[in-house]
Chain A
Amino acid sequence: MPDEPLLELVDLVTTYRLRRAEVHAVAGVSLSVGAGETVGLVGESGCGKSTIARTIVGLVKPSAGQVLFEGRDLATLPARELRRLRQEIQLVFQDPYASLNPRMTVAALLKEAWRIHPGIVPRRDWDAEVRDLLARVGLRPEHADRYPHQFSGGQRQRISIARALTVRPRLIVCDEAVSALDVSVRAQILNLLQELQRDLGVAYLFISHDLGVVHHLCDRVAVMYLGKIAEIGPKAEIYQRPAHPYTQALLSAAPAVDDWRDVDRAEIVLTGDVPSPLAPPSGCRFRTRCFKAEDRCATEEPALLDRGGGHPVACHFANSTTVPATPH
């Protein structure tokens, strides 16, 4: 099976139980990431993108559907197998300070996984391997003996990435991994991620609210809204020919550095806020904010299908490209 994806989500549903209700934070998502590929997952807060990250790495259990890694269902694997497979998937968070133990030196943080999982790196090679990893993420050898608080935000994110690399993963899930960084430092980390992919062939599931960063880094992009995928496809198609009204609105709303060139550009401004995932609208989840919504949208949920545009879209009126021009 040559083209089997590294990671595959099949109709994934992840539910959080509250006191009186259940929230389907992820409400049936299918998605794959190939070896060495970068897939972007974009959407606004509450769309379920972080829950997907947490489900993939096993921090929460799916309530339905499957997480397959190299075709094997993580839910049905024997514990030992699962432990080994889990090393292949690492998570890098937004806030590296919260995920690095402040009492451990960088060297100790990097060696921790080798202590827990013997057999990855022989003990006699640990120091050399720490030096290699630090060099790989752009830190100096003397950084090994320092503590997380002695580093800037960008350097801490380099440490988290080095730590993710200690177990030689094939997939790194980046959950808003560059969102807390300043522009100049963010570019350093984005370049580092690309360099690591070139050298090590690691795949990324890159979760972000930042459409510019996703555009820069990703091969394919999935746009999520209220727990479901609205549109998914190759980057160029999503950014240049968005077919879902939500994608169109997102791209129109996202500020870009070259916006000053065309200040009178037509802009889609959605009204209202994202509805509560506790009570998603009937039919299409986006219809309450959609500028194309008709009666049908309230009763009939649109399936995620290729509607002639070359990539799957969950909208009854996909490709009807009328974008209302709202004056500035």
Chain B
Amino acid sequence: MTERSPQAYGQPPRDGGLLTRLLEVDGLAVEFDTRKGPLRAVRGVSFHVEACETLAIVGESGSGKSVTAQALLGLVPSRARITAGSIAIEGRDVTGLSDAEWRELRGERIAMIFQDPLSALNPSLTVGYQIAEMFRRHRGTGRAQARRYAAELMAQVGIPDAARRLDDHPHRFSGGMRQRVMIAMALALDPVLLVADEPTTALDVTVQAQILRLLRQRREADRLGMIIISHDLGVVARVADRVAVMYAGQIVETGTVPEVYGRPAHPYTLGLMRAVPALRGTGSTLTAIEGQPPDLAEPPTGCSFHPRCPLARERCREEAPEPRELSHGRAVTCHFAEEVLDDA
């Protein structure tokens, strides 16, 4: 799984012709250097993504979901470093890549879109130039040809009047249209993996629906493996096939969306589901999760969730639970998951 030959990345390994494992993350840990000492933002997370499927990583602020996303693209902040684990993209271990190697890989095999496209786009260059630049820099495409490709891409992601809008600067686009520009740039070089970090959080509801729909369409059309990072359980319910719930730097539960949403196995997941107001049906009572997420500079002993957990007992304070498989592809990190399953 960790071969580094350049051929590996041109030729994705086929899993018996059935599934294509595009991404395999194993025991990933990321630490930040802070004045208070090391802060373990990501503490041993493992997951994988196949072609044509969407994995959602959900969690609240500080859960480590965005840092995980950054690590997948070699973009961890300068005061952070990967301290353990491996990331394999199409079978190639990318954890030790140099900046130059990352620049080559990003956009080509794995690409990312962000919550705020305005900060990811250069305000002084036209969007046409910025999209065309992807082809010119990575592929050496000529200026005129790259511009034609850019117009085609913009039309593909639903930007009306694409040929004319090539020469507009980012600020001339609405939030939704800017996110489409970002998606066009991300998909320009036909990557196999797309990481979307809160892609619709800054958008209005009706525009969000447009962008989620576009992402679903592109996933089907390009057979993309997609990772969506979100705090919004509703967005995840709409777009994801599988979900990984993060809390305090760890994945506490994984499974398909129907499995995890329909019958949570971790008390945190169950708590989240009961804390979200229903949109349809009649009124509901909300059960809040008491307390605050822990300070990762001084994480609690044992299970990180125990100070907020209604089921916590002695064992939870002393012994950190290991992830264990409940059924194929479904895992939970809780000593007493069976009780949660019964409750749900």
Which residues of A are in contact with B by a Cβ distance under 8 Å?
44-45, 152-155, 182-188, 190-191, 209, 211-213, 215-217, 236, 239, 249-261, 263, 267, 269-271, 273-274, 289, 328
Inter-chain contact B258/A260, CB cutoff 8 Å: yes
CA distance A263 to B236 in the complex (A): 12
Task: Pick the residue among A182, A253, A260 that contacts B237 (CB under 8 A).
Answer: A260
A273–B292 CB distance below 8 A: no
Q: How far is the CB of A48 from chain B (nearest CB, A)?
A: 14
Main SS of the interface on chain B? helix
The reply to whether A250 and B205 contact each other, CB–CB distance below 8 Å, is: yes
- B204 and A188 contact, CB distance less than 8 A: no
Contact partner of A253 (CB less than 8 A), chosen from B206, B257, B261, B289, is B206
Assuming the contacts A254-B234, A257-B233, A257-B261, asked whether A184 and B283 have C-beta atoms less than 8 A apart, the reply is no
CA distance A260 to B94 in the complex (A): 34
- Residues 204-247 of chain B, each 1 if its beta carbon lies under 8 Å from chain A, else 0: 11111110110010000000000000011111011000000000
Give the shortest distance, in Å, between B218 (CB) and chain A (any CB). 13
**CB < 8 Å neighbour of B277 from A155, A213, A251, A261:** A213
B288 contacts the other chain (Cβ, under 8 Å)? yes
Taking A182-B60, A184-B60, A190-B286 as contacts, is the C-beta distance between A256 and B280 under 8 angstroms? Answer: yes
Q: Which residue of chain B lies nearest to A326 when distances are taken between CB atoms in the complex?
A: B213
Q: Enumerate chain B residues within 8 angstroms of A213, measured Cβ to Cβ.
A: 277
CA distance A260 to B235 in the complex (A): 10
Chain A nearest Cβ from B261, distance in angstroms:
5
Residues of A within 8 A of B208 (CB): 253, 255
Q: How far is the CA of A209 from the CA of B235 in the complex (A)?
A: 15
By the criterion CB–CB under 8 Å, are A183 and B231 in contact?
yes
* A45 to B293 Cα, complex, angstroms: 30
Q: Are B204 and A255 in contact (CB under 8 A)?
A: no
Taking the closest CB of chain B, its distance from the CB of A286, in whole angstroms, is: 11
Residue numbers in B under 8 Å from A191 (CB-CB): 286, 288
Interface string of B73-113 (1 = CB under 8 A from A): 00000000000000000000000000000000000000000
A interface SS class:
helix
Q: Quick one: which of A184, A256, A267, A289 contacts B278, CB cutoff 8 A?
A: A256
Question: What is the minimal beta-carbon distance from A215 to any residue of chain B, in angstroms?
Answer: 6
Q: Which residues of B contact A182 (CB under 8 A)?
A: 60-61, 231, 293
B342 on interface, CB distance cutoff 8 Å: no
A252 to B273, CA, bound (A): 20
Task: Give the complex CA separation of A249 and B176 in angstroms.
Answer: 17
B344 at the interface (CB under 8 A from A): no
Chain A residues with Cβ under 8 A from B34's Cβ?
none
Shortest B170–chain A CB gap in Å is 15
Contact A154 B292 (CB under 8 A): yes
Question: Once bound together, how far apart are the Cα atoms of A152 and B290, in whole Å?
Answer: 13
Nearest neighbor of A180 in chain B, beta-carbon distance: B61
Contact of B279 among A154, A183, A251 (CB under 8 A): A251
- Chain A nearest CB from B268 CB (Å) reads 8
- B residues 163-213 near A (Cβ < 8 Å) are 174, 176-177, 204-210, 212-213
Q: Is the CB of A260 within 8 A of B60?
A: no
Contact of A254 among B205, B271, B288, B308 (CB under 8 A): B205
Contact sample, A vs B, 18 pairs, CB 8 Å cutoff: A44-B204, A45-B204, A152-B292, A154-B292, A182-B61, A184-B308, A185-B60, A187-B288, A191-B288, A212-B278, A213-B277, A255-B235, A256-B237, A256-B278, A257-B276, A267-B209, A289-B206, A328-B213
Q: Which residue of B lies closest to A268 (CB)?
A: B209
Flag if B276 contacts A269 (CB, 8 Å): no
Q: Is B272 an interface residue (CB 8 A)?
A: yes
Given contacts A212-B276, A255-B234, A257-B276, A184 and B289 within 8 Å (CB-CB): yes
Task: Tell me which residues across on chain B come within 8 A of A185, comparing CB atoms.
Answer: 60, 288-289, 292
A188 to B279, CA, bound (A): 18
Complex Cα gap A260–B282 (Å)? 19
Q: For the complex, what is the distance from the CA of A195 to the CA of B185, rounded to whole Å?
A: 48
Supply 5 further A-B pairs (C-beta < 8 A) apart from A211-B279, A289-B206: A182-B293, A186-B275, A212-B278, A216-B283, A257-B276
A257 and B288 contact, Cβ closer than 8 Å, known pairs A182-B61, A216-B283, A250-B205:
no
With most chain A CB atoms within 10 A of its CB, the pick from B210, B232, B279, B280 is: B279
- The reply to whether A183 and B233 form a contact with Cβ atoms under 8 Å apart is yes
Q: Are A215 and B206 in contact (CB under 8 A)?
A: no
Q: How far, in whole Å, are A188 and B216 apart by their CA atoms in the complex?
A: 34
**Chain B hits for A259, CB < 8 A:** 234, 237-238
The interface residues of chain B lying within 8 Å CB-to-CB of A154 are 292
Q: Are B234 and A183 in contact, CB atoms less than 8 angstroms apart?
A: no
Question: How distant is B253 from chain A, measured CB to nearest CB, in Å?
Answer: 15
Q: Is the CB of B206 within 8 A of A183?
A: no
Chain A residues near B301 (CB-CB < 8 A): none
Kindly state the separation between the CA atoms of A109 and B275 in the bound complex, as whole angstroms.
30
B276 touches A253 (CB 8 A): no
Contact of B206 with A236 in the complex, beta carbons under 8 Å: no
B255 to chain A, nearest CB (A): 12
